[in-house]
Structure 1
Amino acid sequence: MRELSELIEVDRPGWPEVRGHLERSRVPVRALPGDPAQGRTCLHRLQVTARSFLGALALESGGLLVDDGWLRVHGGGGAGLAGLGEVNDLSAAVVHGPPVRLVVGHDVLGGVFALNGPACEDDRYPGRPGEMVYFAPDSLRWEPLEATYASWLLWMLQEQNLENFYADLRWPGWRGEVGGLAPDRGLAATPFLWTREAARDPAAVRRAPVPVAELVGMNREFAELAGGPDPGPFGTL
């Protein structure tokens, strides 16, 4: 493993650039304060430098709440949002190597964003190594996004991108419902989002606040019951 100093002491650290994009974004976004010691530990276990957007977010931020909290991006951890180290058990990665897939974010409906590791080269893990993927709660499958982590981060800060991405899952008044939720809470839908009833009329779906861990776990169980490929790890949310 590289020493922490090698990862932090870099020319052109990424955080000033990330912070600039956050400040210029027309999408509502809030960077959560993080714990400096926790951020350094997370960066060391990730084994990426502070020059990268992933490393910068782990070191300098507790995470991001994007679009009034619809999307939660994990950083070093703080203010009610679990950090990358906790979500992906990076303490084990020190001994066993990096995780097959690094969970880097989740949305209020239990969708999961992840970064494919070098071992993601079989049918269980669609997309190429180093590519972002999304587990969709309405299809119960991982979908390749054909983007690196940095490209994904910039993409979600562009106006209309998230609106278009979630066009079939949002409903009138969603912002008011989502804005009052804690970062570790999501919205469970009835009928389930993968049913024909929910697809026909998203506005008619009933929603109730639940822990994100419960929501994501439920989606994973449904994926297994549907008989598709093993969805692999979802992280500890």
Structure 2
Amino acid sequence: MIHSFIAHTSPGRSRVFALVRRPGDELDAVVTLGSADLHLTEELVSTLNSFLYDRDEKALGRVLNRVPKAVRMAAQQYLRDKCAPVMGAFTECGPVEAVREAVYFGRIDDEIEDYLEGAYTIGLGVRMSNERKSDGGVGWVVPLLSEEVSVPASAEPRTWAVPAGAKLVKTWTSERLTGGAGPVRSALQVAEEATAQGRWVRIHTLLHSRYDVDFEGRGTSEFVVDVFDAPIPLEHSEE
């Protein structure tokens, strides 16, 4: 996945690179600006990074129309080939990072509830999924992200894409809370019930805005529970 765009500038040229996570960090050469166009470097890099988040073709076009045709065509080709949208990967402040790699829990209990409550309280993004252990039991894998991603008021409450070919049985969100249980406990209850039926379950958090314009960072944190018409996947074993 493209993480960001950066530039290396010398007196005679600027080279623009894409920082790629594969999972190691690598640099892909994107375009080179000659000495006559060095003044456009910062604006071009900034616009490319904004495009990763907002996909604003008009804003991108205004900058690309000012660079030489060969540079414009190379940038457009790179974006078409390498920069497909990735749901939940960016905010207007930049890429969403994993701040805690996957933590494993053997069951749903007070320990996992406290862990999620802590992440939820300080605004970290949560992604959680069940998996079948080799002994037949079920565990939960929980990575934490640097922040919750915002979605507009009228958009589907989702920042974790449904895998290709997967069929949803239902999607529950904490917007539907009833009774005295809070969002964390309610989400875990829904997940536990579906798991007892042998279904694959994923949980993630997002910031659901009250607005459709200027919605970033303005809204209510929600838990989203996806229940799939699929068996619980087997745990990944380390070779």
**Does TM, scored on the shorter chain, surpass 0.5?**
no
TM-score range, shorter chain: under 0.3
- Bigger share in helix: 1
- Bigger share in strand: 2
Give the structure with higher Rg (CA): 2
Question: Taking structure 2 as the reference length, what is the TM-score of the superposition?
Answer: 0.24
